Amino acid sequence: GESVGLHLPTLSVQEGDNSIINCAYSNSASDYFIWYKQESGKGPQFIIDIRSNMDKRQGQRVTVLLNKTVKHLSLQIAATQPGDSAVYFCAEGVNRDDKIIFGKGTRLHILP
């Protein structure tokens, strides 16, 4: 089926360090992008989104960067905490009336 993103990798980060999770998307026509966090046994939870007319957007401890030239999306988490342990998914959508497509995700593991 349709897919976006890389094979599911695991990123291990020391508690307190910054985390950077990367995603490559496939459709150059996509005009909005979302990051979701999924904790074990739960459904995904919205973190932050960005439109294609922006290249950076900041939230609370999180920043999303969009590079349309190379079709790359990243999520930066500042001062990583144990509660940040989860699988992070990027997703893309072509227009507001279309479905969004999720990538396979990245597992973030926090080292004590």
Footprint of other proteins on this chain (CB under 8 A)? 1-3, 5, 8, 32, 34, 41-46, 49, 89, 93, 95-105
Q: How far is the CB of 12 from other proteins (least distance, A)?
A: 17
Separation of alpha carbons 83 and 73, rounded Å: 22
Separation of alpha carbons 63 and 26, rounded Å: 21
Nearer to other proteins, 32 or 110 (CB): 32
CA dihedral (49, 50, 56, 58) in degrees, to 10, reads -30
Q: How far is the CB of 16 from other proteins (least distance, A)?
A: 27
Phi, psi of 55 (to 5 degrees): -120, -5
Nearer to other proteins, 13 or 89 (CB): 89
Nearer to other proteins, 14 or 34 (CB): 34
